[in-house]
């Protein structure tokens, strides 16, 4: 039986009312020293759904948990079969205006670092520097036994070779919507014959995408790097995250405790609103492009 992880929260108490005025964001960016914390909402305009928005993937999809992945051979087979289709869809996605705006601000020296909760790598494709992948990246695979790392592209080739008939079986599902974790729904008959390959280094190890699954902890040294970055910020700018899970929310609370202003741009309330200086409810691509334009004019 699949156990659904805790993935939602219900707003309680009086939360600050959202605004459509971006002045606070423009002023903060113009002053510099901004650290960005980005979530799945930043990639929705690239065709990758978020988890909890109006059309979020959680309405139709329960993400894989770490406990399920390591505890079930069938779960690993299902994951890799579905990921084989979903990962290719992810590689076809392109950065959007929001990603490009964040990179433009980092190049201008106004954004000093980016903590991304996304595993799609789209922010880095734009050439952004100083990006910490809080939840890892789908572009890498790690052996749970020996620790060997492999690129997802290399694994793709090995999985293709081990499953020559999979393309035909999966063809009718090629247009299925990809989820934020690179998963695509496939029926059991498309999964049953899928062969999972072992680690190339040790020959027997279990392979896992180098991402933090639900139910798994972010590596402590990565958390420490993010905390150090937040400590240096003049403003923490949250982009496209509901902050439902503690892995991202902790940095909002850290900033607020340190007296660092927290600005949130997100469509819908977030779990961090009570600590926010302001929450702006606007589409990210157009809003961030406007911020870049206004700052450049000053």
Which residues does the annotation place in the binding site?
39-59, 117-120, 143, 146, 199, 202, 240-242, 266-268, 284
Q: Residues marked as binding for NAD(+)?
A: 39-59, 117-120, 240-242, 266-268, 284
* Structural contact between residues 167 and 64, judged by C-beta atoms closer than 8 angstroms: no
> 140 — phi, psi (to 5°)?
-125, 155
Strand locations in the chain, DSSP E? 34-38, 111-116, 131-133, 136-143, 149-151, 207-211, 235-239, 262-265, 278-280
94 carries an active-site annotation? no
Catalytic residue among 135, 148, 168, 173: 135
* Structural contact between residues 200 and 80, judged by C-beta atoms closer than 8 angstroms: no
Q: How far is CA 195 from CA 70, 164, 167, 168, 240, in A?
A: 17, 10, 13, 15, 36
Tokens standing for 283?
A: 């589409």
Residues in contact with 92: Cβ distance below 8 Å, sequence separation at least 6, in sequence order = none
- Smallest Cα–Cα separation from 288: which of 62, 101, 65, 147? 101
Q: Residues marked as binding for Zn(2+)?
A: 143, 146, 199, 202
In DSSP terms, 141 is beta-bridged to 150, 209
Positions marked catalytic: 135
């Amino acid at each position: 039986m699949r156990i659904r992880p805790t993935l939602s929260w219900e707003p309680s108490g009086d939360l600050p009312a959202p605004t459509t005025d971006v002045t606070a964001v423009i002023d903060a960016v113009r002053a510099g020293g901004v650290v960005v914390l980005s979530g799945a909402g930043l990639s929705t305009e690239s065709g990758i759904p978020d988890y909890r928005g109006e059309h979020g993937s959680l309405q139709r999809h329960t993400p894989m948990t770490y406990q399920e992945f390591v505890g079930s051979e069938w779960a690993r087979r299902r994951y890799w079969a579905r990921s084989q289709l979903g990962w290719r869809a992810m590689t076809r996605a392109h950065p959007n205006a929001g990603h490009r705006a964040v990179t433009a601000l980092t190049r201008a020296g106004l954004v000093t670092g980016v903590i991304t909760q996304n595993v799609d790598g789209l922010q880095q494709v734009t050439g952004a520097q100083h990006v910490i992948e809080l939840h890892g990246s789908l572009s890498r695979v790690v052996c749970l036994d020996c620790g060997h790392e492999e690129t997802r592209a290399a694994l793709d080739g090995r999985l293709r070779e081990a499953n020559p008939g999979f393309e035909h079986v999966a063809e009718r599902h090629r247009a299925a919507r990809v989820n934020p974790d690179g998963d695509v729904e496939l029926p059991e008959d498309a999964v049953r014959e899928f062969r999972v390959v072992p680690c190339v280094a040790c020959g027997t190890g279990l392979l896992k995408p180098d991402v933090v699954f639900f139910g798994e902890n972010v590596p402590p040294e990565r958390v420490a790097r993010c905390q150090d970055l937040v400590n240096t910020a003049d403003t923490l700018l949250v982009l496209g995250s509901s902050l439902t899970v503690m892995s991202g929310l902790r940095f909002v609370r850290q900033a607020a405790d340190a007296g660092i202003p927290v600005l949130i741009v997100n469509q819908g309330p977030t779990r961090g609103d009570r600590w926010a200086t302001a929450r702006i409810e606007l589409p990210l691509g157009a809003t961030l492009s406007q911020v870049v334009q206004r700052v450049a004019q000053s």
